[in-house]
Structures are given as C-alpha cells and as structure tokens.
Structure 1
C-alpha cells in the first residue's frame, strides 16, 4: 500500500486541507462567540449549512455515481476554495449574514467532496487494505485537527481573525493541486456509469439495494449514536471554556480527543484479530455514552479531558470498522448515492442535535444535558443490539443477496 502514489496523494492532501479546515472552524467559533450570545442562535446558524447539505444530498449522490470521481473532487475542492471569500467579507463587514453564506457554501462543497472521496478509496486500494487505509485517513484528519486548532489558537493571539481564513484558502488551493495529481482507474466502472446515465441513476434506486444488505443498514443506524456527542461537540467546548473560565481548554480538548482517536485507530487493527465486528461496534458505542456521563464533572479539568479521551479512543475504533463494512458490502455502483445518503442522515442528526443542544444549554445547562444525551446513547445501543439479535443480522459475513431490479 505504501508504494501506491494515490495513497500518498490522498493522505498528504487530507493533512494540508485539514489544517485549513480546522483553522477555519476555530475562526467560526470565535466569530460566533463575539457576535452571538445565545447558544441556540449559534446552533441555528450552524444548522443552516447542514440543511443546505441535506437538500443537495440526492443530487450529489446521482452526480458522483454518474461522473468520474476525480472530476467531482476537483469541482468540490474549487467550491471550498471560493467559499472562503464569503467569510473574509463577513469579517470585513462585521456581518453574520455573510458568515451564513460561508457556512452554506462550505457545506454544499462537503456534500459532494466527502462521498466522492469515500467512493474513491475502494478504487485506489485493495479490499484487504481498506481497514488500514480508513484508519490512516482518519488519523491524518485527526492530526490535522489537532495541529489546525493549535495553530489557530496561536494565530488568534498574535494575528487577526481573517488570517485564519487566508490559511484556509491556501490549504484548499494546495488540495486542488494534490487532487489533480491523482491517477484513478475508473474504466472498470465506465459501463456502470453509462448504464446509469441511460437509466437516470435515480437516488431512490439505492433503497431496495440497501434493504438487501441488512449488515450495512444496521451499521448505518449504529453510526447515528456517536452523533449525539459529535453534533454538540463545538457547543460543549465553548461551554466548558466558560465553566472553567479558561480559553486554553479548547485547544486541550481537541488535542486530547485527537490523540486518543489516533491511538484507537491504530489499536483497532489488533482488536479486530480478537473481537468480532458486532462486539466492536456495540462496545465502543457504549463507551461514547460513558464519555457523555463523565462530562457531569465539567468543573474538573482532568475528568473533562478524560471524557474526551474516552470519546476519541471509542471513535477511533468505531468508525474505521463501520467504514470497511460500507465499502466492502455495499456494491460499488451505489457508493456515491449510499455515501451521500449517509451524509444526509448525519446532517439531519447534526441539525437535531445542534438545535437540541443549543436549547438545553440555554435552559438546563451542560451537566443536565450530558446526562440526557448519555441516557439516550446507552438506551439506543441496547435497543439496536436486541434488534440485531432478533433479526439474526451477522456483521462479520458479507451478505450476497439476489440481484435487485430497480425501476
């Protein structure tokens, strides 16, 4: 795998783009904290971008399955680069409206970019390398998150807020260059694309196929559990900073969670040798719920950071495992629509969690909110486990159903 130039290009591009992405996210939080006092209103602004992504999701899925993946990655990357201009205008004019334009534009770009990237990875590595590649890709993204947030913290002390977005723009421009260097053999999928173009490749055609792969469906549902924590992540970080009256805890939280994630994504290669896929997913989903309960001790720095360490390690084991199930068991002809559908579900969940978290933080505070979220996470984990046993779904086996005819 290390001799594969595409692997190096994807990982290097992710590192550089991730630095730009996370400096921009810290800039967004800083801008919102200065301009908007209410957590619920902050959540509404962030949710607008997610809504745009949900609306564009079906179109993105069809385009990705009908088009060359590299072309989609290039156009989405260009959209990312151009979207930075909205935020620079927002800072110059002191306007929240322009920031909303930035949030919408960056989310629309992500709606095309990430499903296309997830569809590309199985085309550039062998099936038995998918777990390692997914883990590496997530690790690089995490390194970029830790480095990007740390860089943003330093830059905010010495430089202006707009400097964060100039760094983002440079990073996205470099990502475009790296994407141009990709060499993806998509000729084996040419017939599928041509057939899809004739049949209009409807987004709804994916659903009967998805129903025929119960392991994929169950895993897709399982990935919604960590989103209770992830959807409220940024609001929780802001509140922790206010509770402990410390601006440095923001960087510490991202660093601890990121390092724990990397440890988890390395450990999962050894964990899979001893544990079954089913046990891995449900065990680490339970760990996410425990991490939420730990934030009851939000005044305590050590216990707060321990909660994010638990979260990071759990996600580092959970998501690479889930991604391998998706990439291996879902037919490649439906990858674009499937990953777009998955991103749509995540955005819906993020919207619900964002708005709920914003309301809870304004009404009952952080500690009561995490108890509610922790109870929901553990309850859903138990319910899904019982459902899986009742339906006799086995995640370890690749189900080979009969061909599904679509209309």
Structure 2
C-alpha cells in the first residue's frame, strides 16, 4: 500500500486539504460568534451551503460515472480555491451575504470532490482486501488533519487575524490542486458517446440499493452519527457556555479526533465481512449512548468521555461503511451512488443542523441529546426488524 503512488497522493492531499478545511471552519465559527447571536440563524447560514451541495449532487453523480474522474477532481479544486476569495471579501466588508456565497461555492465544489474521491479509491487499490485498511488510513489522515487544523487554527486566532486563517486555507487548496495532477488512475469505464451519456440516469442507483440489503441497512444507519455530527459545532459552543470555559472547545475536538484515530486503526483488525452487520449495530448503540450521556454535558469529564466514545465509534463505523459500499455496489454505479450518499448525508445534516439550532434555542442541550439518542435507538431497531430476514439470506 505504501508503495502505491496514487494512494500516497490521496493521503497527502487529504491531510493538506483537511487542514485547509478546518482552518476555514474555525474561521467560520469565530466570524459567526462575532456577528450572529442566534444559534438558529447560524444553522440557517450553514444550511445555505449544504443545500447548494444537495442540488448539484445528481449532476455530479452522472458526471463522475461519465467523465474522467481526475479532471473532475481538478475542476473541484479550482472551485475550492476560488471560493475562499468570497470569505476574504466577507471579512473586509463584514458581510454575512458574502459569507453565504463562500458557503455555497465551497459546498458545491465538495459535492463533486468527495464522491469522486470515494469512486477513485477502489480503482487505486491493487488488492481489494486492502480496501478496509486504505479506508481506515484515509479516515485516520482526515482525523489527523482535523486535529492539526483545529490546533493550528486556534493558535493562529490567538496571534493573528481571521484573514490569515483563510489565506492558509487557500494555500492548502492550491497544494491539493497541484498534487491532483500527479494522480494516475486507469478507469475501467468512461463513456464518450453522447447517446450513451443520455442513458446514464441518477435514479438508476435506487433499485441497486433496494436489491442489496446490507447497503440499505448501512445507508439508514449512517443517519445515527449524522444526528451527532449535524449539531457538532453548535453543541461544542453550547458545552463551552454551559461550563463557562472557552478552552473546552479545543479539548472536545481533540478528544473526538484522537478517538477517531484509534477507532479507524482498531476496526481493520477486528472486523471482517461476515461480521459487518453485528459491528454496525454495536457501533450504532455506542453512538446513541454517547448522545444520551451528553445530558450531563455540564460535567467536564462526562462531555469529554462522550466525545471520546463518539470518536472511537465513528472511527470504526465510517471505514467499515465505506468498504461495504465500495465492495457491494457495482463500480459502474460508484459515481452516482457516492453522489447519492453525499446528497443523503447533506440532507440529513441540514435537517439535524436546523433542528439542533431550533432545539438548542428552545429546549436546551440536555433535552436535545436525549431526543436524538432515543431516535438513534429507534432507527437501529427499525433496520433490525425490517431487513432481518434478507440479511440472514445474504449470510451477513
């Protein structure tokens, strides 16, 4: 794996881009805290960018399955670099509108970039048995970049201006764009005839999902971590306010990131194909427990333990889910499937984000996490009873 040039370029690019992403996120949170007092309004602003990503996802899926994937990564890279310009002007003029433009443009670029990357990874791996390891390492790189990005961003905020954070993000995206040129993937299928392109429909993926029970269950269960992730930043802010400790924000991000690293490392040794379903349900239960335990978020060690448990659980969950999708969904549908999955995650994220903002303003953090934790357990029971017989017939 370490001798695979394409995999190494993907890993290095993910680390650099992740630092840029988290520099931007830290900057966004700081900008919103200064100019927007309401949690619900904050969530609406974040919602605007995610909505744009959802709208372009069907187009992205068809293009990924039709055109050269490396070219799509390059164009998405250009979009990321250009989007940061909106935020630099937003800082200069203290403009919420320009910040929304930044959110929309960078999320549209991400709608093309991330599904393409997921579709490229199986093509870059020479041995399918390495997929779990590669997905785990990819998640680890993402977590490391998050830790480095948040730590670096927090340090920069103390010694310099918000503008420097976004310039750093732009430099990271330029480096990612440059690295993408060196990726060399041999694609199994790329249509070039106009009449063939017309036959590539985004909706073709839905019968595939229905025919593969393990994929259906995996898609539904991804809602559970989204119930935590959707309100992640807002919860961090609220926990900081509950404990009257601004420094807890950095600790929560760090503990969750370290837990994620451990989980992604652990799962590649613990799980194999025949145990995926059992692991999915166990991890879903742990995530629900992490949500419910935040009812006592005013206690410092409880909030840290909750975020740590969540980090370990999703560190195990996401590499395994990615491997299930990459190995069970036919490669010719990967572009559309991962675009659908990206769109599904974004819609879920948007709903959770808006609900989190509204619930935090109305019933508070302690009651919100109990509601979300209970919903997570209900989703787990739904899939257990709905697809039980079909999963047994698959031997899962």
Q: Same fold (TM over 0.5)?
A: yes
Question: Counterparts of 1:2 and 1:50 in 2: how far apart (Å)?
Answer: 35
Gaps in structure 2 of 5+ consecutive residues: none
Contact 1:293 1:371 in 2 (8 A): yes
**For 1:279 and 1:215, how far apart are their aligned partners in 2?**
11
1:176 counterpart = 2:184 = no
Q: Name the residue aligned to 1:405.
A: none
Q: Secondary structure at the match of 1:113?
A: helix
Provide the secondary structure at the position in 1 that maps to 2:265: helix
Structure-2 residue corresponding to 1:71: 71
Tell me how far apart the structure 2 counterparts of residues 78 and 305 of structure 1 sit (CA, whole Å): 38
Q: Report what 1:248 is aligned to.
A: 247
- The normalised TM-score by structure 2 is 0.97
* Partners of 2:121 and 2:98 in 1: CA distance: 34
Q: Distance in 1 between matches of 2:345 and 2:205?
A: 17
Partner of 1:404: none
The alpha carbon displacement at 1:211 in A equals 2.2
> 2:348 & 2:217 partners in 1: Cα distance?
16
Pair 205,22 (structure 1): closer, same or farther in 2 beyond 3 Å: same
Tell me the alpha carbon deviations over residues 10-30 of structure 1, each in whole angstroms, 9 at most, x when there is no partner. Answer: 100111111010011010011
- C-alpha distance 396-147 of structure 1, shift in aligned 2 (>3 A): farther
Measured against aligned partners, the alpha-carbon deviations of 1:32-61 in whole angstroms (never above 9, x if no partner) come to 111111101100010011111111110010
2:214–2:277 CA contact under 8 A, matched in 1: no
Counting only pairs closer than 5 Å after superposition, residues 111-122 of structure 1 correspond to structure 2 as: 111-122=111-122
Residue 81, structure 1, aligned to residue 61, structure 2: no
Q: CA deviation at 1:212?
A: 2.1
Deviation track 1:309-353 (CA, whole Å, cap 9, x = no partner) reads 000000011111111110011011110000000111111111110
- Residues 359 and 368 of structure 2 are in contact (CA less than 8 Å); yes or no, is this contact kept in structure 1? yes
Q: Residues 169-208 of structure 1, C-alpha deviation per residue, up to 9 Å, x if partnerless?
A: 000000001101101112x313x56598344411112222
**What residue in structure 1 maps to residue 161 of structure 2?**
160
**Distance 1:256-1:193 versus aligned 2 partners, 3 A rule:** farther
Contact 1:278–1:395 (8 Å) recurs in 2: no
Partner residue of 1:23? 23
| Corresponding residue SS for 1:28 | helix
Q: C-alpha separation between the residues in 2 aligned to 1:266 and 1:396?
A: 26
1:66·1:196 contact (CA, 8 Å) conserved in 2? no
Instruction: Tell me if structure 1 keeps the 8 A contact 2:213–2:390.
Output: no
Matches of 2:349 and 2:285 in 1, distance apart? 20
State the alpha-carbon separation in 1 of the partners of residues 364 and 279 from structure 2: 32
What's the offset of the Cα at 1:378? 1.2
Post-superposition offset of 1:213 = 1.9
Query: Contact (CA 8 Å) 2:274, 2:395: kept in 1 or not?
Result: no
SS in 1 for 2:183: coil
**Partner of 2:6 in structure 1?**
6
How far apart in 1 are the matches of 2:252 and 2:290?
13
Matches within 5 A, 1:177-192: 177-186=178-187, 188-190=188-190
Closer, same or farther: CA 108–220 of 1 in aligned 2, 3 Å: same
Partner residue in 1 for 2:138: 137
CA distance in 2, matches of 1:51, 1:306: 32
Partner of 2:333: 334
SS in 2 for 1:247: coil
Residue ranges of structure 1 left out of the alignment (5+ in a row): 398-407
Q: CA deviation at 1:216?
A: 1.3
TM-score with structure 1 setting the length: 0.94
Count of residues in Structure 1 that have an aligned counterpart in Structure 2: 395
SS at match of 1:189: coil
Work out the CA distance in 2 between the residues paired with 1:172 and 1:244. 36
> Which residue number in structure 1 is paired with residue 51 of structure 2?
51
Taking the aligned partners of 2:193 and 2:394, their CA distance within structure 1 comes to 32
Q: Deviations over 1:124-176 (max 9, x none)?
A: 00211110000000100000001100111111011001110000000000000
- RMSD across aligned positions (CA): 1.5
> In the alignment, is the contact (CA less than 8 A) between 1:276 and 1:396 conserved in 2?
no
Give the Cα–Cα distance (whole angstroms) in 2 for the partners of residues 236 and 316 of structure 1: 20
Query: Per the alignment, in what secondary structure is the counterpart of residue 246 of structure 1?
Result: coil
The 8 Å contact of residues 66 and 194 in structure 1, kept in 2 or not, is answered as no
Q: Secondary structure of 2:271's match?
A: helix
CA spacing shift, 1:40–1:321, aligned 2, 3 Å: same
SS in 2 for 1:181: coil
